With several copies, the nearest count.
Chain A
Amino acid sequence: MKQPMDHETMAMRAARELQDGNVVNLGIGIPGLASNFIPEGRSVIFHSENGVLGFGPLLDESDGDVDLINAGGQFVSAMPGMSFFSPADAFAMIRSGHIDVTIMGGLQVSERGDLANWMMPNRGIGNVGGSMDLAAGAGKIIVTMEHVTKDGQMKIVRKCSYPVTGLACVSLVITDLAVIEVTPKGLVLREVAPGYTAQDIQAVTEPKLIVAKDLKEVSL
């Protein structure tokens, strides 16, 4: 039976990419959930663009402090070793390669790893926030998104039709259906959701996928 991954499962899968000692920036939504699933024994340092490093889990609104938020406006908790600094310093960290991994949402990812995630063209106006800086500067960029839009449009495409956030910047795409790596040779299908075949994934993916020799079901 075909079983797409839910958001928690996608976040769990994304969290597996985080290595011990990594400095990590998480977007809101599915990426943010990944902070709940850091593999046992790994220390990960969370970074946010508004000027904070080393914070802990998200807090419920009622426990939150307006002076301790992430760039998505979520309340976060204090942790030993945390530090505050300016946004210019926060983005200096990003551009200079001090952020090992970022997990972001996506509207479209192209064959060569171009990312579009800052503007819905039909709105006519976009919120760029820190997305272009992360796209330009973060070490490894993981995109978590649905494999297709609500009305069935493909989101993994030959060329982005939406305004791009960054060129050739994405390393890994984790959708509800598959885990796809961006390589110099093209998109490599590495893992599929339970019950899905490579053909199923190709049917909803515009560029030709290279199927990994060791293609397997997503494991967490």
Chain B
Amino acid sequence: MPINKVLPSFAAAVADIPNGATVMIGGFAGPGGMPSNLILALRNQGARDLTVISNTAGLPGFAAHTGQTIINQSVLFENKQVKKLIATYPVPRSMSQISAFMKAWQAGEVELEVVPQGTYAERLRAGGAGIAAFYTPTAVGTQLAKGKEVRTFDGRDYLLERALKADYALIHAHKADKMGNLVYKGTSRSFNVHMATAAKVTIVEVDEIVETGELDPEHIVTPGIYVNRIVARPKERR
């Protein structure tokens, strides 16, 4: 049977995510690369007590055009589905902006682990690469090093950091073929590419689905073996 991972709806793609699951959510922060329709489907599906691994918790207006409607992780906090967030940039830049996450965090409803962004990227990569842990020079001597092993190599101190893995990854790519090979667009590649490799089930929202063979083997960024489910955005929501 030719491999075909395309599903008919975002709802079908996230239907089996159970309460208590660990879910990676891709993108960087703005609308580019954000799997908005999958996030919305997870909001509507209602799974609770989620651990969310995501660069931000939703930043209002980040890298968006004025008036552009942006659906991001924020809806999951508004809907009280998240018990823990692992992120690098959890709150709006300005202290005057209050996000749904910030409210939940202030109310003590959600736990937070802040990770330096390079360590976060590397922990995701390690999760998808079968590497249990690694030593990085980042954050040595800071409060984010608290409780972590420090070790000296060649006269320099490094922190031991563990791999990040998840039950599900919700990501966005530009194009997929039916086998799940993916290409991205510009800086919207971002964390999508690492999360695809680090989750048991990777679900991709794409702008366009093409026939297997249409993507140049030299240009494929995420090989299809990492992808489990593909759903195309309706044209009007691309």
Encode B84-100 as 1/0 by CB contact (under 8 A) with A.
Answer: 00001111010100000
List of B residues within 8 angstroms of A70 by Cβ: 187
Q: Is A215's beta carbon under 8 Å from chain B? A: no
CB closest residue in chain B, given A47? B225
Q: Is B63's beta carbon under 8 Å from chain A? A: yes
Q: Is A209's beta carbon under 8 Å from chain B? A: no
List of A residues within 8 angstroms of B138 by Cβ: 95, 132-133, 135-137
List of A residues within 8 angstroms of B117 by Cβ: 49, 71, 87, 91, 128-130, 133
> Contact: A73 with B30, CB < 8 Å?
yes
C-alpha spacing A136/B184, complex, angstroms:
29
CB closest residue in chain A, given B122? A88
C-alpha spacing A120/B211, complex, angstroms:
47
List of B residues within 8 angstroms of A62 by Cβ: 65
C-alpha spacing A62/B158, complex, angstroms:
43
**19 intermolecular pairs with C-beta atoms under 8 Å apart:** A43-B3, A49-B117, A53-B223, A62-B65, A69-B187, A73-B59, A81-B177, A81-B179, A82-B217, A86-B125, A88-B121, A127-B91, A132-B116, A132-B138, A133-B117, A137-B130, A137-B138, A166-B141, A167-B140
> Contact: B124 with A51, CB < 8 Å?
no
Chain B contacts with A in 143-193, Cβ cutoff 8 A: 143-144, 177, 179, 181, 184-191, 193
> Contact: A68 with B186, CB < 8 Å?
yes
Q: Is A204's beta carbon under 8 Å from chain B? A: no
> Contact: A123 with B29, CB < 8 Å?
no
> Contact: A86 with B122, CB < 8 Å?
no
Q: Is A125's beta carbon under 8 Å from chain B? A: yes
Supposing A23-B225, A53-B225 touch, asked if A80 and B212 sit within 8 A by C-beta, the answer is yes
Chain B interface, number of residues (Cβ within 8 angstroms): 73
Q: Is A102's beta carbon under 8 Å from chain B? A: no
> Contact: A67 with B186, CB < 8 Å?
yes
Chain B residues in contact with chain A, CB under 8 A? 1-3, 28-33, 59, 62-66, 88-91, 93, 95, 102, 105, 112, 114-119, 121-122, 124-125, 127-131, 136-144, 177, 179, 181, 184-191, 193-194, 197-198, 211-213, 217-218, 220, 223-226
Q: Is A153's beta carbon under 8 Å from chain B? A: no
- Which of A21, A42, A84, A96 has most B Cβ within 10 Å? A84
**How close is B41's CB to chain A, nearest CB, in angstroms?**
21
**How close is B48's CB to chain A, nearest CB, in angstroms?**
23
> Contact: A94 with B130, CB < 8 Å?
yes
> Contact: B194 with A92, CB < 8 Å?
no
List of A residues within 8 angstroms of B220 by Cβ: 83-85
Supposing A97-B130, A137-B137 touch, asked if A81 and B181 sit within 8 A by C-beta, the answer is yes
List of B residues within 8 angstroms of A108 by Cβ: none
Residue from B28, B93, B137 within 8 A of A127 (CB atoms): B93
